[in-house]
Amino acid sequence: MTMKIEAIIREDALQRVKDGLREVGIVGMNIFEIRGHGRQGGIDQAWRGTTSKMDLLPKIQVNIVLSEQNVEKTIETIVKASRTGKEGDGIIFVSPIADVVRIRTGERGHEALKYPDDIDARRVAR
């Protein structure tokens, strides 16, 4: 089965996450700059004696579509690279994908997700 991981992380964790994913063989991903908040509802900021509520914080969304067999390794990698133990570290959503079509070749499903030296190619080579 093909799965989609959507990880919402801190901006300063992006390079560590990308490096960690590349190291395990995740080569295809999309990155979005987003704003939002979780349970904490934002942060209070003090500036020149005035306090204001910043309720939409800058975050990064990383989207990855991959084989079900690679989901746990990918989640572990994202968590390891982005966890600080403080509120606002982020969240990961995992959902099934009905189909994938590579526009250039017309490949569908798992074949459309293959990249040279990706996690699946490394698994076969072992």
Per-residue model confidence as pLDDT tens digits over 77-123: 999 999 999 888 999 999 999 999 999 999 998 888 887 777 877 76
Domain boundaries, the chain: 2-125
pLDDT at residue 124, rounded to an integer:
63
Phi, psi of 59 (to 5 degrees): -140, 170
Task: Please count the helices (runs of H) and the strands (runs of E) in the chain.
Answer: 3, 6
Q: Are 8 and 116 in contact (CB under 8 A)?
A: no
Write down the pTM of the prediction: 0.82
Q: Are 80 and 73 in contact (CB under 8 A)?
A: no
The domain over range 2-125 is classified in CATH as 3.30.70.100:
no
| Three-state secondary structure readout of 17-67 | HHHHHHHHCCCCCEEEEEEECCCCCCEEEEECCEEEEECCEEEEEEEEEEE
